[in-house]
């Protein structure tokens, strides 16, 4: 390959380190790597993102499958892959998602804790119906596209007490695409 062409590509390639601030913001661990809370360095928006660093060097076949599948899936109740970053210097792969502060367990725990603190706050039936509908709608979409999920993890795109909560199935590392 032409050296000038390679140099030009390297100069044009976006690097996750240049675009996002994420140091010291580790929020969890996914199937294939660590997850960090990140913000844009340029301040274009105040939105929070989840940056998933795929473990190891290079890109495994399972990571390739996860990326390919996440790029295809488009549904309000299935997490959307925003961007993929490939770092050629240290051979790392980064996946960018919207950040979700809470998961379904936090929502349930929040409402249980309110009972224990003598502040009765039951989960409204309308919210239970909405959450159940969203779960089933997301699973239906996955199954309609021949995708089976072995470890469904649900994240809430708003706070634990919000009535307009939107759930998303996340972590594409535990999915199987049946052909």
Catalytic entry in 151, 164, 171, 174: 151
Distance between CA 24 and CA 36 in Å, rounded? Answer: 8
Same structural domain, 107 and 66:
no
CB neighbours of 52 closer than 8 A, spacing ≥ 6? 30, 32, 33, 34, 35, 36, 94, 95, 96, 97
CB 109 within 8 A of CB 121: no
Phi, psi of 67 (to 5 degrees): -65, -45
Same structural domain, 171 and 107:
yes
Same structural domain, 128 and 92:
no
Same structural domain, 81 and 14:
yes
Same structural domain, 109 and 90:
no
Distance between CA 45 and CA 99 in Å, rounded? Answer: 13
**Which of 19-23, 34-38, 84-88 shows the lowest per-residue confidence on average (mean pLDDT)?**
84-88
| CA proximity to 102, closest of 141, 142, 154 | 154
Tell me the sheet residues that pair with 149: 175
**Final residue of a structural domain among 98, 115, 130:** 98
Same structural domain, 14 and 83:
yes
Phi, psi of 83 (to 5 degrees): -165, 155
Same structural domain, 56 and 28:
yes
Q: Which of the four pLDDT bands, split at 50, 70 and 90, describes residue 164?
A: low
Same structural domain, 94 and 107:
no
Same structural domain, 91 and 122:
no
What is the CATH classification number for the domain harbouring 89? 3.30.200.20
**Final residue of a structural domain among 58, 76, 98:** 98
Establish whether 151 is a catalytic residue: yes
For the record, the structure tokens of 141 come out as: 């979409």
**Final residue of a structural domain among 71, 98, 125:** 98
Same structural domain, 53 and 113:
no
92 in a known ligand binding site:
no
Phi, psi of 162 (to 5 degrees): -70, 140
**Which of 42-51, 92-101, 151-160 shows the lowest per-residue confidence on average (mean pLDDT)?**
151-160
By residue range, what is the domain housing residue 28? Answer: 3-98
pLDDT value, residue 148: 80
pLDDT value, residue 18: 87
Same structural domain, 94 and 30:
yes
pLDDT tens-place string over residues 90-144: 778 889 998 888 778 877 787 777 666 666 667 788 888 988 898 899 889 989 9
Mean pLDDT over each residue of the chain, to the nearest integer: 79
How many structural domains are present in the chain? Answer: 2
For the record, the structure tokens of 124 come out as: 């409204």
Same structural domain, 7 and 94:
yes
CA distances 104 to 42, 123, 144, 158, Å, are 32, 12, 23, 11
């Amino acid at each position: 390959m032409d050296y000038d062409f390679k140099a030009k590509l390297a100069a044009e390639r976006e690097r996750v380190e240049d675009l996002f601030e994420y140091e010291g913001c580790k929020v969890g661990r996914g199937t294939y790597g660590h997850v960090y809370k990140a913000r844009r360095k340029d301040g274009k928006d105040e939105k929070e993102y989840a940056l998933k660093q795929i473990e190891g060097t290079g890109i495994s076949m399972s990571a390739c499958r996860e990326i390919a599948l996440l790029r295809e899936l488009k549904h309000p109740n299935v997490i959307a892959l925003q961007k993929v970053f490939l770092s050629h210097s240290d051979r790392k792969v980064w996946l960018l998602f919207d950040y979700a502060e809470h998961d379904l367990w936090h929502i349930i725990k929040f409402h249980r804790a309110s009972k224990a603190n003598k502040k009765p706050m039951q989960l409204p039936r309308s919210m239970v119906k909405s959450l159940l509908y969203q779960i089933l709608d997301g699973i239906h979409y996955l199954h309609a596209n021949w995708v089976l999920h072995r470890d469904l993890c649900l994240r809430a795109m708003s706070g634990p007490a919000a009535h307009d909560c939107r759930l998303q199935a996340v972590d594409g590392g535990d999915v199987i695409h049946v052909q």
